[in-house]
Amino acid sequence: MKTQVGIIGGGPSGLLLSQLLHKQGIANVVLEKHTREYVLSRIRAGVLEHGFADLMREAGVAERMDREGEIHDGFEIADGGGRRRVDLKGLTGGKTVIVYGQTELTRDLYDARAAAGGTVLHEVDDVQPHDLETDAPFITFRHNGENQRLDCDYVIGCDGFHGVSRKSIPKDRLREFERVYPFGWLGVLSRTKPVSPELIYARHERGFALCSLRSQVLSRYYIQVPLSDTVDDWSDDAFWRELKHRLPADVAANLVTGPSIEKSIAPLRSFVAEPMRYGRLFLAGDAAHIVPPTGARGLNSAASDIYYLYHALVDHYQKGDDGGLDRYSEKALARVWKGQRFSWWMTTLLHTFPESSAFERRLQDTDLAYLFSSEKALGSLAENYVGLPF
């Protein structure tokens, strides 16, 4: 098989790039390890920034997002008994975020690729890129029991944190930066009315909690749990009890509980691999960087990589200009690190760290008090949350 751009990974990053390139007449093939149903069963991001939404529109796949997604102009931060609102729209001169599930936008992308006759191969095993430092890279893999080879001009690694792309870069050509947090998030999806029309990020001495949603009939809640906990340790009843405990009394009183339709634990990690290019391999999204979900940056950081990569590939194929490809890693990383800083800061501000000293706990109190005493500090939070410009 031969194509122009070989994309490893059919999550949101890989599919969005595939659809954008297709729109510009650039041939590409997506190789995905799992079935479509499996990819769509992973409940992840819910909050999209405008830059992401604009890319979905440019890719021609935003019709359902624009119809069913909810525009949010603010969210709340709860602490102790009270809660205060962060007016995203007012603080950013009119910017907002969209609440639309990663599952839904991935489904829209799969449907668009299928409608356009795009090649997305599922259940592909033993994917391995080769000759990345030459002008003729290729990818080998197994599909339907047969060994196959895909020749391409460029290989794009969109295969997430555990993928093969980053691991194909020689160790001495890659630098990794990492922080692992001593806790995870236990998430529950339930077919219940959300407790609040806006998201509530709650700080509590027993641990952080988040009230989020997918629609007015589908709620998504999270609580901070120790890394040693497993999903089996948490019955639905135990989850709802703990969540109520961590929310202000008036919010807890209004919480509608019900059976969980999905329950999972995600460990929290900050990670960046530099550079995001090795020869003709370019990394994008979770393959190159991970953030703790507190600032809702993960998928949005992936989208900014795709934005830079898409424009760089279009410049290469349509104008013979390789400047964008040559500067990709540097440009993408500059924005990635801002997302890292913000996600680390939101996580540090709102979580209970088992090992923190009395001094650090006082600093955390002061950080939150300062935030709500200063329009400039709130403005900084808001401009990061709605997404810095590409």
Could you tell me the smallest distance in angstroms from the CB atom of residue 339 to ligand RFL?
Answer: 9
Q: Rounded to whole angstroms, how far apart are CA atoms 119 and 30?
A: 6
Number of residues lying near ligand RFL (CB under 6 A): 37
Closest CB to ligand RFL among 44 and 363? 44
93 in Cβ contact with 27 (< 8 Å): no
Q: How many Å separate Cα 212 from the centre of its chain?
A: 15
DSSP string, 71-134: EE--EEEEETTEEEEE-HHHHTTS--EEE--HHHHHHHHHHHHHHTT-EEE-S-EEEEEE-TTS
Residue choice 137, 285, 293, 339 for contact with ligand PHB (CB under 6 A): 293
Q: From ligand RFL, ligand PHB, none, which one binds at residue 9 (CB under 5 to 8 Å depending on kind)?
A: ligand RFL
Task: Give kind and range of the element (H or E) at residue 306.
Answer: helix 298-319
Instruction: Give the long-range contacts of residues 253-259, CB within 8 A, separation 24 or more.
Output: 254/195, 254/196, 255/195, 256/192, 256/193, 256/195, 256/219, 257/190, 257/192, 258/190, 258/191, 258/192, 259/190, 259/191
Closest CB to ligand PHB among 31 and 200? 200
Q: Is 33 in the site for ligand RFL (CB under 6 A)?
A: yes
Q: From ligand PHB, ligand RFL, none, which one binds at residue 69 (CB under 5 to 8 Å depending on kind)?
A: none
Q: Among the candidate windows 86-94, 108-116, 161-169, 190-198, which touches ligand RFL by CB under 6 A? A: 161-169
Q: From ligand PHB, ligand RFL, none, which one binds at residue 294 (CB under 5 to 8 Å depending on kind)?
A: ligand PHB
Q: Tell me the two tokens of residue 102.
A: 């990663």
Tell me which residue of 208, 235, 236 sits closest to 222, measured CA to CA.
Answer: 208
Q: Which residue's Cβ has the minimum distance to ligand PHB?
A: 46
Q: Tell me the two tokens of residue 338.
A: 């801002």
Closest CB to ligand PHB among 200 and 312? 200
Q: Binding string, 272-301, against ligand RFL, x = CB under 6 A?
A: -------------xx------x--xxxxx-
Residues 199-238 binding ligand PHB (CB under 6 A) are 199, 212, 220
Residue choice 47, 124, 209, 381 for contact with ligand PHB (CB under 6 A): 47
Q: Is 11 in the site for ligand RFL (CB under 6 A)?
A: yes
Q: From ligand RFL, ligand PHB, none, which one binds at residue 220 (CB under 5 to 8 Å depending on kind)?
A: ligand PHB
Closest CB to ligand PHB among 270 and 294? 294
Residue with tokens 């005493």: 373
Could you tell me the smallest distance in angstroms from the CB atom of residue 187 to ligand PHB?
Answer: 7
Could you tell me the smallest distance in angstroms from the CB atom of residue 208 to ligand PHB?
Answer: 10
**CA within 13 Å, CB half, 11:** 25
Closest CB to ligand PHB among 165 and 212? 212
Q: Is 103 in the site for ligand PHB (CB under 6 A)?
A: no
Query: In sequence order, which ranges of 10-87 are alpha helices (DSSP H)?
Result: 12-23, 36-41, 50-58, 63-68
Could you tell me the smallest distance in angstroms from the CB atom of residue 365 to ligand RFL?
Answer: 26
Closest CB to ligand PHB among 168 and 212? 212
Q: How many Å separate Cα 384 from the centre of its chain?
A: 15
Could you tell me the smallest distance in angstroms from the CB atom of residue 292 to ligand PHB?
Answer: 9
Q: From ligand PHB, ligand RFL, none, which one binds at residue 39 (CB under 5 to 8 Å depending on kind)?
A: ligand RFL
